[in-house]
Amino acid sequence: MNLKILILAGILILAGIGIWFSIQTEKIKPEQPKMKALPNISIESKGEEKPEITLISVYDNYQVNPELKTDWGFATVIKTPKELILFDTGGNSEILLSNMEKLGIDPTSIRKVVISHIHGDHLGGLEGFLERNSNVTVFVPSSFPQSIKSMIIQKGAKFIEISAPRKISDFVYTTGELYGPPEEQSLIIDSKRGLVVITGCAHPGIVNIVRRAKELMKRDKVYLVLGGFHRPPISCVKEFRELGVEKVAPSHCTGDSVREAFRKEYKENFIEYGVGKTIEIR
């Protein structure tokens, strides 16, 4: 009898442990990441004069200037009246720096570098760029590993971790870290013509990013969306129209079929964007 009681007690104890473990496992199970709530950020007065902006493609797998090298990746220089900002660095610093030199862009004239996300075709050129110019501040998603942040410091540069939307320059904002995976930030420029959204690879979804930019900036329309769209469904062309996007310049990882769908729909408002292309927004 005592043996039976001991066996029964043991079964009950094991069952209790199993239930407890199941409960604890359920408690620590990670939730699907969600969009973060938008914080209050300082946006320039609508009455204030907006700047002229120049966008220059310095790294892309699409080519506009045959004298420049193409490679899988993305990098664009943003020229404002105040400064030059480099958005992404492509995958190879030698190609990046060579293209910049041929375009007459001095790497040492850049003071801010923004990295959209962790993938090598957007981050790979950073270390070599910092060896040429370490007098910069690098804006990286807060999810980046410590090894990348340590490399930036070792090269003599500074970094700022980005998690929430914030202003990074006059009339230039980051969307903050949005979930893909991987986590990714895009840029929003409040230009003379309206909002300009620049994406690296659009892992969070190109339509989600545009919608987020409009929500953040409290605007109904977007003048231009530029960059890698990450092979979205063709239906995104219609959604762009519904979102009030006036012009498009898809490149890098957008995909040929989606680019052609945008070209057909947007006609003269489709911009052929690739390495060597310059867009002036006046």
The Cα 33–Cα 205 span in angstroms is: 14
When computed from its CA atoms, the radius of gyration of the chain, rounded to whole angstroms, is: 23
pLDDT for residue 61: 98
Give the count of beta carbons closer than 10 Å to the beta carbon of residue 143: 16
Q: Give pLDDT, residue 18.
A: 42
Regions of the chain where pLDDT drops below 50? 1, 3, 5-38, 40, 45
Give the separation between CA 115 and CA 192, rounded to whole angstroms: 25
For the beta sheet containing 110-114, the strands, ordered from the edge strand earlier in sequence to the opposite edge, are 158-162, 137-141, 110-114, 84-87, 74-79, 53-60, 278-281
The CA distance from 159 to 136, in Å, is: 8
What does the pLDDT look like over 220-278, one tens digit per residue? 999 999 999 999 999 999 999 999 999 999 999 999 999 999 999 999 999 999 999 99
| pTM of the predicted structure, to 2 decimals | 0.84
Q: Which CATH class is domain 48-281?
A: alpha beta
pLDDT for 40 equals 44
Diameter over CA atoms, the chain: 93
